[in-house]
Structure 1
Amino acid sequence: MAVDEVAEQEFVDQKKKTSSEDEKRRKKIVPGSLMKAMIRSGGGTAKPADGDQVIFHCTIRTLDGVIVESTRSDYGSKGNPIRHVLGKSKMILGLLEGIPTMLRGEVAMVLMLILLDFFHLIPVGTFKMKPELHYGEVDCPVAVSESFPKNDDLNFEIELIDFFKIKARNINFNVIYTQGIKFECILAIYRFIDIFYTLMSSTGCDVLMTVLKVISDDLGVVKKVINEGQGWEMPREPYEVKAWIAAKAGDGKMILSLTQEPFFFTFGKAEVPKGLEMGIGTMTRGEKAILYVTNCYLTQSPFMPVVDGFDEIHFEVELVHFTQVKSVRDMLGDGRLIKRRIHDGRGVNSKLKFKLAGLWDSEFPMDCPLHDSLLSVHYKGMLLDEEMTVFYDTRIDNNGQPLEFSSGEGLVPEGLEMCVRLMLPGEIALVTCPPDYAYDKFARPANVPEGAHIQWEIELLGFEMPKDWAGLSFKNIMDEVEKIKGTGNRLFKEGKFELAKAKYEKASLLMDEIMLLDIENCNSTILPMICNLQVLREYNHVNPQNDEEGKVFLNSRNLLQLNVAACYLKVGECRKSIETCNKVLDANPVHVKALYRRGMAYMSAGDFEEARMDFTKMISIDKSSEPDATAALLKLTQKEQEVERKARKQFKGLFDKKPGEIAEVDVVREDQNPKDENHEGGDWTEADGEEVEGIRDAAAAPPPVGLLSQFGPVGRRLFRALGLQKCSIL
C-alpha cells in the first residue's frame, strides 16, 4: 500500500519489542521502591504514554548538592533538552516509570538511593529508588562513563517541557496513487480524524492535537506539523522548491531568521542540510511544520555553510510551492529513470489537467508520439562507468541510418520508449536508466554486462501519427484490426504480460477517456492487453452495414475480449478475467469458449463449484466441446484433491497441541508447482484460426498460486496476520 507500510510496520514492531523488554524491567520494581513528589504542578490532564516523544530537562545532583550532569544552560550546558520516545528510546528504569506520571510543565525531584531504607525520611518531591532502578541496574541500557557515580545516591530533577504523539513517517501519496488506492478514501479518513479532534476539543476534552512524525528511524529527523498543507503530492528529486525557512538552536537561540523572500533550492542537489531536505520531502504544498534535526543529519550546504557545534537544530518551514524542473523529468517518481532535455524540439507544450480530487495537474508535450506511431530516432548508448563506454551508436553502427520502430510493441527497451514518447520532433534528450528498464528484461547487446545502468543520448527525428479510423470502410477497418491483433498475439507469445499487469487499469482509463491519460506516468509497453483494448475502443467507429458484416464484427470483438481475458488470467488477475468473460456471455450466454475461459479463471481463483458449472454447461451446449470440458473437469478434480492434500499436510498435528504451544505450519511455497500444473487436455483453437495458437493453453495456466490464496482474501489476511506463518492454539 503508497502508505509507507514497510517503514511504519518496522517502527511498530520495534516499539512492541522494546515495550516487551521494558515490561520485564518494570517487574523489578517493588511497592515502595519508587516514589515521586511534585515541586511544580503541570497543566492539563493528559500524561505521556508509550509511543510518545517526551521533551524534558534533567539535572543530576549528589545528595550533597554537587551537580553531576545537567541539560540546562544555567549550569554550563548548551541548554538542549532531552528527547526520548517512551517504549522505544533507551532510558533508565526510574525515568521510564516516573515520566509517564507527570503532566506537561511539571517539575519533580527524583531521589535515587542505593539502599532501600524504609526508616529514612523522604524529602518532599522525591522518588526513592533502589540502585537497580537507575544506572546501577544490571545490563542497564544507558551507558555512562567510568567516572560517573552510579553507585551513589543521586537526585534527579526533571522538568517535563512537552510531549507528543509519534507517527512513523508521512504517507507518500505519490506511491499510494500508483498502487491504485482511492485517494478519496484517504481524504475521508483524514477528515474524520479532524472532525473527531474538533468535537473532542469543543467538549472541553484534553486532546493532543499535535502529532510528531518520524522521518528517520533513529529519530534524527522528526517533524511536528503546525498547519496542514493542501493536496497529496510532495517534493522529490529533481523538483524546484520554494519555502520560508528559519532555524533555531536547541536552546532557542536564533541561527537563521526569515528573509524577505522565500528560499529557493533544487531537491537532490545538496543545497540544504540533509535532514532539512528529508523533512521537506514529507510536506505538502502550504504545510507549516517544525523539523527537529540532530547533528548527524546536519550536512554543510549553501543554505547553511556552518553546522559544526550544533547538537540539534529546529527548522521552522513553510512550504510555499514546488514544481518539477521542466528540462528534467523523473519518469518513475523514484529518481531512477531520469530524462534531461538538452535541446528543445519543435512542437507545443500544453497543460493537461489530470484531476485527482482537483489537487494536481501536469505539463506534457502535446506534439509527442502516441501509441502505434512509427518513430525515427538516432541514439547513442553508453555504460555508466568511468569511461562512459559507448556500446552502440546508430550514426556509426547502423550506417548512419536512424532507428525506426513502432511504439507500443516492445521493440526497444522500456525505459527508452517511455522517454521517447515524451519528446518533441527535433528534441535531444539524455536518459539515465536503471537495469530493469534497460537491458535486464530486453535482448542485451553482447558488450553490455548484466545489471548495467545505461545512459542514452536520443534525438527524435520525427514520427508518423496513427491512422484515423473515422471514414474508413468496414473492410479497411477489419484489416487494421487484424494487424493490431497480430501484434498483440506476438507479444503474448513473447511472455510480456508481467510488464503490462500494472498498466491494465490505466489502459482501461485510456480506452474510456484518452484525454484524461496521465501521459507522464504511463508505461510505454502496452503489450497484448492494450492492443486488444485499443481495437475494442476503435470499434465504436465501426458500423456494420449488413448481417454478414455484423456477424464478422461481433465474432472479432468477442475474440478480442477473450484474448484480453487470457492476458488477465496469465498475470494472475483471475477476477478481471472473469469480468471480461462475462461481457461476452452477457451478449451471448451460450458462447462455449467464453464458458471455458471463465471456468479456467474460476478454477485458478479457487471457485471450484462455479468452474464445474461452466465446464458442465459447455457439454450441454456443444457436444464437440466434450473432450476439452472433460479434460478441464479432470484437472478441476485434481486441483481440489491437491488443495485438500496440502491443507491436511499444513495443519497436520495442529490441533493435537496443548494450549499456548506453537505448531509449525508447513507452508507450500508459491514457486512449487504441481507436476501437472501446465498440463491441459485437448487442442482448442478457433475454427477460423484467428486466435493465436496456444493462447488458450497459456491462459489456462496462470502463475502458480500459493496455498494461502486458496482460502480467499479473508483467509489469507488471517494467516499472514499470525506472523512467520505460525499458528498458536490459545
Structure 2
Amino acid sequence: MAAEDGTAQEYVPQKKNKEPTETEKRRKKIVPGSLMKAEIRPGGGDARPSDGDQVIYHCTVRTLAGVVVESTRSEYGGKGTPIRQVLGKSKMLLGLLEGLPTMLRGEVAMFKMKPQMHYSEEDCPVSPPSSFPRDDELHFEIEMIDFSKVKVVSDDLGVIKKVIDEGQGWESPREPYEVKAWISAKTGDDKVILSPKQGEPYFFTIGKSEVPKGLEMGIGTMTREEKAVIYVTNQYLTESPLMSVVGLEEVQFEVELIHFTQVRDMLGDGRLIKRRLRDGKGEFPMDCPLQDSLLRIHYKGMLLNEEKTVFIDTRIDNDGQPLEFSSGEGLVPEGFEMCARLMLPGEVALVTCPPDYAYDKFTRPANVPEGAHIEWEIELLGFEMPKDWTGLDFQGVMDEAEKIRTTGNRLFKEGKFELAKAKYEKVLREFNHVNPQDDEEGKVFLNTRNLLNLNVAACHLKSGECRKSIETCNKVLEANPAHVKALYRRGMAYMEVGDFEEARSDFEMMLKVDKSSEPDATAALKKLKQKQQDVEKKARRQFKGLFDKKPGEIADAGTDDRGEEQSTSENQKNDDQEDSNGTDTEDVEDVANEPREGLFSRLWPTGRRLFSALGLRRCAIL
C-alpha cells in the first residue's frame, strides 16, 4: 500500500531467525549457581581460549569430601597424559564447555559443578566412566597447560595440526609427491619416540604408506619450510616401514618440511611421470604454456638403461641453441609436450616416458632403439603466448585462421586427428567473436566456417565418432540444407553406423541439388547398396535354416553354407577433407571396412556359444 505522501516505500527484507547451535541450546539450560569457579593458581598473560582453539589440560575430579574419583595425573592413578580437545568441535561436559574459556594459560582452577553440569545433563554427549557418581555434586580441578589455534585435518579430530613457523608459497604435497622432512615424535605423556634431527631427514612418497596415515595427512596441509606439530590419535597410527607407532594411544609429531618434489602421474597408470626438480616462476596453471604457444626449451634425452645413455643434449648437440616448437602441432613426442605444457618458465623437470608416448609413434632418432623407455631432463626457458586476435581487422582474422587451418590439414594428413580437430575448433571458437561488415565478408566468413565444421566432422569420422560427425554436419546443413559436401559427409557417417535409409536420403539429395555431384553420389549409393547386401548375407548365413522349418522339425543352429561365394566389397571410396577453396586436401580411407551388423546378428554368436556350452547343438522350431 502506498504511503500517504504518495512516495513509494522501500522494501526491507525481514531477517530470518538463525537456528541456534547445539552449544547455544546447551548453554541455555544452565541454571545460576550450578557452576562455580575458584582460582587456585593464577595464569599468565591475558589471552583466553575461544571456539576453534585446541586446549590441553589436566583434570582431577573429586567428591566434595575430597575423594579422587578420576584423574589424568599419574600421582592420582591416571596415565599422566593430559586431555586434548578443540573448543566448539570436541564432545565436552557442559561445565567444561563453559569453564575452560575463562582460564588463562598456566592457570589452575577448581570448578564446582552440579550434576546437570557434568554427566547428569540431559542428552550429555559424553558417557561417564563405570561407577562414576554422576548424580553427585563434584569438584573438577583443571590445569590449563596450553591452548592455540589449530587446523583440524580430519573431521573426527584424529589428526590436528598446530603451526609453529609459517611456510613459503601456497603449494602443499599430495600423492604422489616426494617429501623430505625432519621429523621427531613423542607420546602424549612426553615420552620421546623419534629424536629430533638425528641422522638424515626422512624421505618418502605421499600415497605409498611409508609413514603413518595421520602423519601423511598432516604433512599434506603444510607448505615448504613450514614447521608444525601434528597430533595423531591411534586410529591414524597405521603401520609403516619408516617408523613404528602402532599400538600407541596418541603421538605428537614435530615436522619441519624441508622440501618436496612435485610428481605428476600424467596418465594415471605410473608410466608417464613428471618430477619437478626446480621451481619455475609464476602461478600454476595460469602462467603455463597454452595451446599454440611457442616454447623455448633446453633438454637432455637419455635411454632408461643401466648406462643412462644420452642420445641428445641441446646444449651440446644443437650448438647450444634451445629447441623451439609450437604446442599442439605434433612437433615433439606426445609425452614430451604433455609435460612441457604443465611447466612454468624457469622450471626444470625430469620426465620418464614409455615408448608409445616417446619415439615409437614419432620420428625416432637413429641412436634410439625401437621400444625404448626414455628419460628427458627439460628446462622451460620461456614461451610466447598465441597471437591475440583482438583488434585484428577482418582480413587479419582470416589470415590467422588460414595459418591454423593449414596446420590442421597437415596434422590430418599425418593421421593426428585429435590435434587436427583441436586446430579447427580453435578457429571456430575465435569465429564466435567475428562480425563481418558487408555481404562479401559475410560470404567468405560463412564458407570458411562451413569448411572448418566439415573438417571437424572428418576428424570425428576418422576417430570412429560417427554420431559426433553427424551432429557437426548438421550445423552446416541447418544454414544451407543443399550443401553437397555436408550431405556427402553426413551420408558416409550414417552409413558407418548402419542408418542406411538416412544415408540413402543424403546421397539422393546430392543428385537433386547439384548435378555435378552425380559421380560421387552414384558411387556412394553403390557402396551403400553393397554394404546392405553384405549385412543381409551375413545374417542369412548365420540363421540359414533356423526359421524355414515346419513346427516340430529340427534345424542346425548357426550352420554356414561354405559353398556360398563370399561377396567382394567394392574398393572404399576415399573420404574428402575440405580445403579453403572447396577442393580436397587429401584422399583418406573410410573409417571402417566392415559393415555394421544388426543387433540380432551381433547377439547370435554369443547365444550360439552359450547353447554349445549347454550341449544344445540343435533347436526345434515349435
TM-score (norm: length of structure 2):
0.56
Which of 598, 610, 613 is the equivalent residue of 2:490? 598
Task: Name the larger-Rg structure.
Answer: 2
- 1:653 to partner: Cα distance: 5.5
Q: What is aligned with 1:650?
A: 542
Contact between 1:662 and 1:726, CA under 8 Å: does it hold in 2?
no
- 1:423 to partner: Cα distance: 0.9
**Structure 1 unaligned residues grouped into runs of 5+:** 1-226, 228-234, 241-257, 278-287, 307-312, 314-323, 350-363, 501-526, 667-672
Q: What is aligned with 1:619?
A: 511
- Partner amino acid, structure 1, of 2:358: A
- 1:686 to partner: Cα distance: 6.2
- Partner amino acid, structure 2, of 1:710: E
Q: What is aligned with 1:680?
A: 573
Partner SS for 1:645: helix
Contact between 2:455 and 2:577, CA under 8 Å: does it hold in 1?
no
Rounded Cα–Cα distance in structure 2 between residues aligned with 1:326 and 1:724:
54
Percent identity of equivalent pairs: 65
- Partner amino acid, structure 2, of 1:650: Q
- 1:541 to partner: Cα distance: 2.1
Rounded Cα–Cα distance in structure 1 between residues aligned with 2:261 and 2:559:
54
Closer/same/farther in 2, CA of residues 725 and 391 from structure 1, 3 Å limit = farther
Pair 1:702-2:588 in alignment: no
Q: What is aligned with 1:369?
A: 289
Partner SS for 1:693: strand
Which of 254, 264, 278 is the equivalent residue of 1:329? 264
- Partner amino acid, structure 1, of 2:263: V
Rounded Cα–Cα distance in structure 2 between residues aligned with 1:660 and 1:417:
63
What do residues 229-280 of structure 1 show as CA deviations (whole Å, max 9, x unaligned)? xxxxxx854488xxxxxxxxxxxxxxxxx99xxx996346561699xx9xxx
Closer/same/farther in 2, CA of residues 326 and 542 from structure 1, 3 Å limit = farther
Which of 480, 499, 506 is the equivalent residue of 1:607? 499
- Partner amino acid, structure 1, of 2:324: E
Give 1:77-476 correspondences, 5 Å limit.
237-238=176-177, 266-267=205-206, 269=208, 271=210, 301-304=241-244, 327-346=262-281, 348-349=282-283, 364-476=284-396
Contact between 1:602 and 1:608, CA under 8 Å: does it hold in 2?
yes
Which of 412, 426, 436 is the equivalent residue of 1:544? 436
- Partner amino acid, structure 2, of 1:464: E
Contact between 2:265 and 2:272, CA under 8 Å: does it hold in 1?
yes
Closer/same/farther in 2, CA of residues 494 and 340 from structure 1, 3 Å limit = same
Contact between 1:336 and 1:433, CA under 8 Å: does it hold in 2?
yes
Q: What is aligned with 1:56?
A: none
Rounded Cα–Cα distance in structure 2 between residues aligned with 1:490 and 1:723:
47
- 1:692 to partner: Cα distance: 4.3
Q: What is aligned with 2:585?
A: 693
Q: Which moves more between the two structures, 550-559 or 621-630?
A: 621-630
Rounded Cα–Cα distance in structure 2 between residues aligned with 1:607 and 1:456:
48
Rounded Cα–Cα distance in structure 2 between residues aligned with 1:367 and 1:378:
19
Rounded Cα–Cα distance in structure 2 between residues aligned with 1:611 and 1:330:
44
Pair 1:575-2:467 in alignment: yes
Contact between 1:367 and 1:424, CA under 8 Å: does it hold in 2?
yes
Which of 446, 453, 456 is the equivalent residue of 1:564? 456
- Partner amino acid, structure 1, of 2:275: R
- Partner amino acid, structure 2, of 1:302: L
- 1:399 to partner: Cα distance: 1.4
- Partner amino acid, structure 2, of 1:624: S
- Partner amino acid, structure 2, of 1:553: F
Give 1:651-666 correspondences, 5 Å limit.
651-652=543-544, 663=557
Q: Which moves more between the two structures, 552-561 or 441-450?
A: 441-450
Contact between 1:488 and 1:531, CA under 8 Å: does it hold in 2?
yes
- 1:704 to partner: Cα distance: 3.8
Closer/same/farther in 2, CA of residues 688 and 388 from structure 1, 3 Å limit = closer
Rounded Cα–Cα distance in structure 2 between residues aligned with 1:677 and 1:458:
50
What do residues 520-571 of structure 1 show as CA deviations (whole Å, max 9, x unaligned)? xxxxxxx111100000000022111100000000000000000000010111
- 1:602 to partner: Cα distance: 0.4
Rounded Cα–Cα distance in structure 1 between residues aligned with 2:468 and 2:567:
24
Contact between 2:405 and 2:424, CA under 8 Å: does it hold in 1?
yes
- 1:409 to partner: Cα distance: 0.2
Give 1:6-45 correspondences, 5 Å limit.
none
What do residues 117-162 of structure 1 show as CA deviations (whole Å, max 9, x unaligned)? xxxxxxxxxxxxxxxxxxxxxxxxxxxxxxxxxxxxxxxxxxxxxx
Contact between 2:300 and 2:376, CA under 8 Å: does it hold in 1?
yes
- Partner amino acid, structure 2, of 1:637: K
Partner SS for 1:541: coil
- 1:687 to partner: Cα distance: 8.8
Rounded Cα–Cα distance in structure 2 between residues aligned with 1:301 and 1:639:
63
Rounded Cα–Cα distance in structure 2 between residues aligned with 1:441 and 1:687:
27
Rounded Cα–Cα distance in structure 1 between residues aligned with 2:337 and 2:205:
27
- Partner amino acid, structure 2, of 1:301: P
- 1:339 to partner: Cα distance: 0.9
Which of 421, 424, 437 is the equivalent residue of 1:529? 421
Rounded Cα–Cα distance in structure 2 between residues aligned with 1:341 and 1:398:
24
What do residues 170-189 of structure 1 show as CA deviations (whole Å, max 9, x unaligned)? xxxxxxxxxxxxxxxxxxxx
Figure out how many residues of one structure are paired with residues of the other and give that number: 399
Partner SS for 2:597: helix
Rounded Cα–Cα distance in structure 1 between residues aligned with 2:609 and 2:245:
48
Contact between 1:665 and 1:726, CA under 8 Å: does it hold in 2?
no
Partner SS for 1:476: helix
Rounded Cα–Cα distance in structure 1 between residues aligned with 2:334 and 2:178:
24
Closer/same/farther in 2, CA of residues 557 and 653 from structure 1, 3 Å limit = same
- Partner amino acid, structure 2, of 1:680: K
TM-score (norm: length of structure 1):
0.48
- Richer in helix (by share): 1
- 1:694 to partner: Cα distance: 2.3
- Partner amino acid, structure 1, of 2:380: L
What do residues 480-519 of structure 1 show as CA deviations (whole Å, max 9, x unaligned)? 111111011101001122xx2xxxxxxxxxxxxxxxxxxx
Closer/same/farther in 2, CA of residues 270 and 450 from structure 1, 3 Å limit = farther
What do residues 577-617 of structure 1 show as CA deviations (whole Å, max 9, x unaligned)? 00000011111111111111100000011111110000001
Partner SS for 2:521: helix
- Partner amino acid, structure 1, of 2:241: S
Q: What is aligned with 2:124?
A: none
